[in-house]
C-alpha cells in the first residue's frame, strides 16, 4: 500500500519558517516534519510514498535526492573522481515526488497523482501534522467496514470544523465549528481508488465537495483516535513539537 502526503500548500500561517521552505520541510529536531510522518507509516510497514508538491517543491526533491548521501559514511577519491559508501543509515523507502501545481487544491492534488496509485487502496494525510495513530489498526478498521473512505477523527478544537458521527462510526455530516464532545478531521485517511471519481479538477477541495458527496452516500467511516495529535499551523506549535522531541518525550515516535 502507498501513502500519499499532501505537501504543496504555502503555509501562510507560519511564514516565519515557510517563506524559506514548504511547511512539511520545517525541522522538528534534526529532521523535517515529513520525515516524522513517514517514519510513523514505516513503523507499520508502509514504505512507498507519493509526495504531492507545489510551493517550493524543489526543496523536497533536493532533500530526498541527497538523503542517502547525507546519511552515509563516505570516502571521496578526488583524483579518481570516485565515491565509496562505507555505511548508511538511510531508510529503505520508495519516494515519488510529484509537482501538482502551485495553486492546486487538496482534491486536485490527489487527482493529479491518480496514475501513481495503480487503482489500489491507499493512505493519505497532510504534511503538517503529527500523531501516534496505530496505522495497523486503522487499516484493519477500514478493511472491515467495506466503505470507500475512512477518516481519522480526533477530539475537537474550536478552530476546526467538526464531523457528526453516528453510533456506528459512520460520518453523517460536517459542522462549521467544533464544540465540546465532537470530533474533527485528523487526516490519516484510508481511501479506495473510486474516491478519485468524486474529484472534478484542480479547484476541488478534498474536504468539501468530494467528502460531502461521500458522506451523503454513507461511504465515510470515522476511526476515532484519542491519543496524541497536533497540527503545526503556527510557530508556537512548531516550538511545542520541537521541545517534545528534544526532551525525548515525543509521543508520535512509535518506532525504535
The string of pLDDT tens digits covering residues 140-192 is 999 999 999 999 999 977 667 789 999 899 999 998 766 666 899 999 999 99
Provide, for the chain, the percentages of residues in helix, strand and coil under a 3-state DSSP scheme, each rounded to the nearest 5: 30, 30, 40
Report the run of H or E that residue 230 belongs to, with start and end: strand 229-231
Look at residue 178 in the predicted model and tell me its pLDDT: 63
Look at residue 162 in the predicted model and tell me its pLDDT: 87
Q: Which three cell numbers stand for residue 170?
A: 459512520
Cα→Cα distances 70→25, 37, 63, 73, 256, Å: 16, 19, 9, 8, 21
First to last CA, the chain: 22
Question: Which mean pLDDT values do the consecutive 10-residue runs of the chain (256 residues) have?
Answer: 96 84 96 98 98 97 95 96 92 97 97 98 97 98 98 84 90 79 92 98 97 98 97 94 97 96
Look at residue 18 in the predicted model and tell me its pLDDT: 83
Q: How many helices (H) and strands (E) does the chain have?
A: 8, 16
Report the run of H or E that residue 144 belongs to, with start and end: helix 135-145
Q: Which three cell numbers stand for residue 103?
A: 495553486
Look at residue 148 in the predicted model and tell me its pLDDT: 98
Query: Taking a C-beta distance cutoff of 8 angstroms, is the pair 74, 25 a contact?
Result: no
Q: Which three cell numbers stand for residue 232?
A: 503545526
Q: How far apart are CA 137 and CA 1, in angstroms?
A: 15
Listed in order, strand segments (DSSP E) in 78-168 are 82-88, 94-99, 122-126, 129-131, 149-155, 162-165
Nearest to 117 by CA among 185, 68, 189, 59: 189
Q: Which backbone phi and psi does 166 adopt, to 5 degrees?
A: -85, 180
Nearest to 196 by CA among 186, 204, 188: 204
Query: Taking a C-beta distance cutoff of 8 angstroms, is the pair 53, 22 a contact?
Result: yes
The fold of 2-246 is Spore Coat Polysaccharide Biosynthesis Protein SpsA; Chain A (3.90.550)
CA 84, 87, 91, 93 torsion: positive or negative?
positive
Look at residue 156 in the predicted model and tell me its pLDDT: 77
CA Rg, the chain, in Å?
19
Reported pTM: 0.93
How many residues are given for the chain?
A: 256
List the domain boundaries for the chain: 2-246
Owner of C-alpha cell 476541488? 204
Amino acid at each position: 500500500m502507498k501513502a500519499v502526503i499532501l505537501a504543496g500548500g504555502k503555509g501562510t500561517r507560519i511564514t516565519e519558517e515557510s517563506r524559506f521552505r514548504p511547511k512539511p520541510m520545517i525541522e522538528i529536531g534534526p529532521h523535517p516534519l515529513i520525515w516524522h510522518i513517514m517514519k510513523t507509516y514505516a513503523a507499520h510497514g508502509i514504505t512507498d510514498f507519493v509526495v504531492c508538491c507545489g510551493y517550493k517543491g524543489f526543496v523536497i526533491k533536493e532533500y530526498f535526492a541527497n538523503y542517502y548521501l547525507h546519511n552515509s559514511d563516505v570516502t571521496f577519491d578526488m583524483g579518481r573522481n570516485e565515491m565509496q559508501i562505507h555505511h548508511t543509515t538511510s531508510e529503505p523507502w520508495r519516494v515519488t515526488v510529484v509537482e501538482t501545481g502551485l495553486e492546486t487544491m487538496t482534491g486536485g492534488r490527489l487527482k493529479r497523482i491518480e496514475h501513481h496509485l495503480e487503482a489500489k487502496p491507499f493512505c493519505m494525510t497532510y504534511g503538517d501534522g503529527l500523531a501516534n495513530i496505530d496505522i495497523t489498526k486503522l487499516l484493519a478498521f477500514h478493511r472491515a467496514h467495506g466503505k470507500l473512505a475512512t477518516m481519522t477523527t480526533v477530539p475537537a478544537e474550536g478552530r476546526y470544523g467538526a464531523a457528526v458521527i453516528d453510533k456506528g462510526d459512520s460520518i453523517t455530516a460536517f459542522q462549521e465549528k467544533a464544540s465540546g464532545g465532537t470530533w474533527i478531521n485528523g487526516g490519516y485517511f484510508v481511501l479506495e481508488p473510486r474516491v478519485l471519481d468524486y474529484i472534478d479538477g484542480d479547484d476541488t477541495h478534498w474536504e468539501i465537495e468530494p467528502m460531502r458527496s461521500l458522506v451523503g452516500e454513507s461511504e465515510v467511516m470515522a476511526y476515532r483516535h484519542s491519543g496524541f495529535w497536533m497540527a503545526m499551523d503556527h510557530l508556537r506549535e512548531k516550538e511545542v513539537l520541537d521541545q517534545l522531541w528534544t526532551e525525548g518525550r515525543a509521543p508520535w515516535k512509535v518506532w525504535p
